[in-house]
Amino acid sequence: MSSHLEPSLPHPAAAASARRTLSGIPLGTALKESLLKLRPSTQVRNPVMFTVYVGSMLTTLLWIAGLFGHADAGTGFMFTVAAWLWFTVLFANFAEALAEGRGKQQAAALRGLRTTVIARVVQGVPAGTPTTAEAYRGHVAERPSGSLRKGDIVLVEAGGTIPGDGEIIAGIASVDESAITGESAPVIREAGGDFSSVTGGTRVLSDWIIVQVAANPGESFLDRMIAMVESARRQKTPNEIALNILLVGLTLVFLLVVATLLPFSFFAISAAGQGTAIAITALVALLVCLIPTTIGGLLSAIGVAGMSRMMRANVIATSGRAVEAAGDVDVLLLDKTGTITFGNRQASAFHPAADVLARAACLASQADETPEGRSIAALAARQLGQAPEAAAGAVFVPFSAHTRMSGVDLANRRIRKGAVDAMQAWLAEQGAALPEAVARAADDAGRRGSTPLVVCDGRAALGVVELKDIVKPGMRERFGELRRMGIKTVMITGDNKLTAAAIAAEAGVDDFLAEATPEDKLALIRQYQSEGRLVAMTGDGTNDAPALAQADVAVAMGSGTQAAKEAGNMVDLDSNPTKLLEVVETGKALLMTRGSLTTFSIANDVAKYFAIIPAIFVSTYPQLGALNVMRLASPSSAILSAVIFNALVIVFLIPLALKGVRYRPVGAASLLRRNLAIYGLGGLLVPFIGIKLIDWLLVVVHLV
């Protein structure tokens, strides 16, 4: 592909800005959005704030009527109450607009990563699997990348941009994925195994690959990323819906209570023979101050901000449901290969180190396109001087995740290579058993943390191939943190029990499942779910896809296959399995933020009760003046102070709603005590102080 046909990718710094929350959100844009959100069709989506919205319109109409001599209170008082009620609605809109602004900026930056390239579509794939790019060049036709469809096959060579998401079906290449992941170091992508997935917009730095397109235009990974961060696509989570129902219930209760106060006021005046009727403006002010306007105004912003914080951690969540569920996860299942370990298992030794074993292992690996299979062939070639070739008429048996073996059938020989238990079953079918020496060699390799593979020629077990893998650094510490958070970690692997136990001990996981098939993974997840536990899983391979689809929280590695990413409800662009720690912390922080602000909002009502109730009834019942514990200047000052505080507190809590309450890995009881001490007690005390200060300022500036 000629370089002049392709636009250059954005600088990695631009990609980084797309993936992380942008701090410089224009306030002017947020203010404009706040005004646009005053449409009734928008306000009605939030019942609590819609109540404030209706109250604002009612007090405004009462003020206008007062200007024409039909007032039940002073026009200045009515104007001030109406103005601050509108401010309350605007501040809530502003909080939501700020949170949405982050998502919109992220989406805009991601759209800047889109590139239109000229794709080299292979028309009529050459027979066999050519090993050189030259074999494909005579079969290509150039087309714009926007015209590609799922199933199209394209050739991408060094310097070319991959035109769309897909799977590599031939070749190997070094790929620059910095535009998507922000990681400047190139990665190796090759056909077969769990590292065959490529993302449109990334660049091939060396060699060549044949890619089968896996997504139609508008359905690519980048398109899904944009859709995920667009606040317009956010759906309310179950907990958010439940909290909304609670808030609506509280609003209805206070609405009924306030509605009865007007006839009660007439009755009280008649019975006491003194006093004045409660002004409707004062009743509206009381209603707005008593209903949970603080959490009602910030609820949507909290949800949007949770998605944004997940994006900042380089994790793309499909919905807020996944983020919220992460906060309740108590079981974490991790695939070993590529997740706990680096996943690049390489053949390191033959036991015994005999030419006959090396030759048979190499022949049995010819149909094994996994990196492990190719490493076995490479090790055998080094030991023998050259790779042996199968005789004419050989029938190859490709590697399968279900059989966990590969091999070749020759004229009078059946050679197989696979996992120890799989080969034991294969030998048993032929009336043979695994020799003690071979079993001991496999056990020894397993105790070293390596993966043993047995090679058989007919009924004879020739020996063991040892595969080495390396545990990623820092795993034990991170799993320790998960344990303190009350999360059980379970490693899942197809390795034998000895190897699995060695890796599990080194990584520090709580439990493991060895010799696991895709069906075993599914069964384990369903077992935990049947016990009422929320299960999270990370994975990167096609064989992980069914389990990822079953899990409550499924984090697919960005370096994994397309099938894994499609099955997951989150994608980790850093391909770091311990990233689930950040995912869980973000989920818990989301739940804690919502709970903390709800506690604060409800606790606020106590102070506002002591401010407004005495004010509206003191003319009828002077004894209620004893409830004026804050010694507010006058009834009108008390009502105005409560209304102003009710509006301003939303502004002061916006940073907390966007940033979230910090989660600490402590028990639920400790978290509850802390929540009640800070946000419960704080919610009681702060309004008393705030309302008194506002009252003092109103008196100082002679507004009452």
Q: How many CA atoms lie within 13 A of 53 on its CB side?
A: 20
**Cis ω for the linkage preceding 47 (within 30 of 0):** no
- Cα 288 to its chain centre, rounded Å, is 35
Q: Which residues are catalytic?
A: 335
- Tell the burial category of 597 from Cβ atoms under 10 Å away from its Cβ (0-12, 13-18, 19+): buried
Q: Which two tokens stand for residue 119?
A: 């794709």
Q: Are 228 and 318 in contact (CB under 8 A)?
A: yes
Q: Are 118 and 46 in contact (CB under 8 A)?
A: no
Distance of alpha carbon 435 from alpha carbon 441, whole angstroms: 10
Q: Which residue has the tokens 């009381």?
A: 286
Virtual torsion, Cα 522, 527, 529, 533, nearest 10 deg: -130
Distance of alpha carbon 96 from alpha carbon 101, whole angstroms: 8
Of 595, 667, 586, 106, which is closest to residue 322 (Cα–Cα)? 586
Q: Are strands 187-190 and 460-468 parallel, antiparallel or unpaired?
A: unpaired
3-state helix/strand/coil string of 91-109 = HHHHHHHHHHHHHHHHHHH
Q: How many CA atoms lie within 13 A of 26 on its CB side?
A: 6
**DSSP letters for 287-354:** HHHHS-HHHHHHHHHHHHHHHHHHHHTTEEES-HHHHHHHTT--EEEEEIIIIIB-S--EEEEEES--
Q: Which residue has the tokens 């706990």?
A: 340
Distance of alpha carbon 110 from alpha carbon 225, whole angstroms: 8
